[in-house]
């Protein structure tokens, strides 16, 4: 059993690393976008699935990180890595401010506040035409000056691996335990000594910074930024990816984002019906697997492995 798992892992790593040589340019672009959505979805799962802070403004931080990096690079000649780092810092500061402002908000009130924040940021971007380019878009410097998208794929893959590794380390630490305690019952967590205010602000800042990182990567890959990046439609897509995969598992949310993006593109020939099929899959998930389809599959595989390892009792 152990040897089979190691062999499967090695084969999967080889397939992922050789992916640009196995597909055409179109599917390579889809893979890069899937990596972008995977980072955003995992960071949203950290906020909503682990800390219980349901936000509809997560894509606004993607837009904020992308525009911050793009403007600093284009206006001040800052190197792209420093511009992306500044976008991450900006999103962390604004996310901490949003988290502190929403201390007394829960459930639908928190969701509505974050929707309002997302719309306000979008309107500001549209209105400040001389700075942001408005609805026409802002052209930014590409990350790599090559004809092939393979460097973007490997760079996005590295960003996803590092981001996911940091988030997994975080949820397995004491902070992750405090996040889950706040999700289950804030009053009980506060009574047990958890500093609820500090960790609510902290989880908003951390998840927003990862969203800003994904936004910086997306902006310098696409080459043009528009206000639609932070729209509510994009946010709904991210939430659907997390719910279908499993919002209470970082691995399930990440794989769910990758598979959902591939599924949406594979069904593109069905035009508008593809979104109907995608919505039907979301409804089935909510009805029969509230923790996500992939989380349910992981649990089934884990239980099957335990049955194989634990020996049966001898028949008397």
**For the segment 58-76, what is each residue's pLDDT rounded down to a tens digit?**
999 999 999 999 999 988 8
Other residues' Cβ atoms within 10 Å of the Cβ of residue 139: 13
28 token code pair: 């390579």
Q: Which of 233, 206, 241, 219 is nearest to 64 (CA)?
A: 219
Over residues 137-160, mean pLDDT: 89
Rounded to two decimals, the pTM is 0.89
Which of 17-21, 40-44, 295-299 is least confident?
Answer: 295-299
Q: Write down the number of H helices and E strands in the chain.
A: 15, 2
Integer Cα distance of 59 and 208 in angstroms? 9
Q: Is the pLDDT of residue 152 over 90?
A: yes
C-alpha–C-alpha distance, residues 279 and 68, integer Å:
33
Please classify residue 27 by burial: count the beta carbons closer than 10 Å to its beta carbon, then call 0-12 exposed, 13-18 middle and 19+ buried. middle
Among 59, 71, 181, which residue's Cα sits nearest to residue 114? 59
Predicted local confidence at residue 316, as pLDDT: 43
Could you tell me the pLDDT band of residue 205, with boundaries at 50, 70 and 90? very high
% of residues, the chain, pLDDT over 90: 31
Say yes or no to pLDDT of 94 above 50. yes
C-alpha distance from residue 164 to each of 41, 45, 91, 192 (Å): 11, 11, 18, 29
Q: Per-residue pLDDT for 305 more than 70?
A: no
CB-based burial of residue 193 (10 Å sphere; 0-12 exposed, 13-18 middle, 19+ buried)? exposed
Residue scoring higher pLDDT (170 or 312):
170
> How would residue 80 be classed by pLDDT, with cut points 50, 70 and 90?
very high
Q: How large is the average pLDDT for residues 224-234?
A: 86
Structure confidence at residue 69 (pLDDT)? 93
Mean pLDDT, the chain, whole residue set: 85
Q: Tens digit of pLDDT for each residue in 133-148? A: 888 888 888 888 887 8
- What integer is the mean pLDDT of 199-204? 90
What confidence category does residue 9 fall into, taking pLDDT thresholds of 50, 70 and 90?
A: confident
Instruction: Answer whether 72's CB lies under 8 Å from 212's CB.
Output: no
pLDDT of residue 308: 55
pLDDT at 281 over 90: no
pLDDT score at 66: 93
Residue 313 DSSP symbol: P
What is the chain's Cα-based Rg?
A: 21
Question: Could you tell me if 67 and 94 are in contact, meaning their C-beta atoms sit under 8 angstroms apart?
Answer: no
- Tell me which range, 8-12, 133-137, 158-162, is most confidently predicted by mean pLDDT: 158-162
Residue 81 has pLDDT above 60, yes or no: yes
Mean pLDDT in residue range 86-114? 86
Q: Given pLDDT bands bounded at 50, 70 and 90, which one contains residue 1?
A: low
The pLDDT assigned to 303 comes to 66
How far is it, in rounded angstroms, from Cα 215 to Cα 219?
6
What is the pLDDT confidence band of residue 41, given thresholds at 50, 70 and 90? very high
């Amino acid at each position: 059993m152990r040897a089979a798992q190691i062999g499967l892992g090695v084969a999967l790593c080889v397939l992922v690393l050789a992916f640009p040589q196995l597909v055409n340019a179109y599917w390579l672009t889809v893979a890069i976008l899937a990596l972008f959505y995977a980072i955003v979805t995992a960071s949203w799962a950290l906020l909503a699935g682990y800390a219980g802070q349901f936000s509809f403004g997560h894509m606004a931080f993607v837009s904020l990180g992308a525009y911050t990096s793009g403007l600093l690079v284009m206006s001040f000649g800052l190197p792209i890595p420093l511009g992306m780092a500044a976008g991450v810092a900006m999103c962390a500061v604004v996310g901490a401010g949003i988290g502190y402002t929403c201390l007394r908000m829960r459930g639908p009130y928190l969701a509505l506040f974050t929707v309002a924040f997302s719309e306000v940021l979008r309107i500001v971007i549209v209105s400040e035409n001389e700075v942001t380019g408005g609805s026409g878009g802002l052209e930014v410097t590409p990350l790599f000056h090559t004809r092939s998208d393979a460097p973007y794929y490997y760079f996005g893959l590295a960003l996803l691996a590092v981001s996911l590794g940091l988030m997994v380390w975080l949820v397995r630490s004491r902070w992750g335990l405090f996040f889950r305690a706040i999700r289950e019952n804030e009053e009980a967590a506060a009574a047990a000594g958890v500093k609820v205010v500090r960790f609510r602000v902290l989880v908003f800042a951390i998840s927003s910074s990862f969203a800003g990182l994904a936004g910086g990567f997306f902006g310098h890959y696409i080459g043009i930024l528009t206000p639609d990046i932070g729209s509510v439609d994009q946010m709904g897509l991210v939430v659907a990816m997390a719910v279908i995969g499993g919002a209470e598992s970082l691995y399930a949310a990440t794989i769910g984002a990758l598979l959902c993006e591939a599924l949406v593109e594979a069904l593109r020939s069905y035009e508008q019906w593809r979104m109907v099929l995608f919505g039907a899959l979301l409804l089935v998930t909510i009805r029969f697997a509230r923790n996500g389809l992939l989380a349910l599959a992981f649990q089934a595989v884990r239980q099957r492995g335990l049955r194989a390892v634990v020996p049966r009792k001898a028949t008397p």
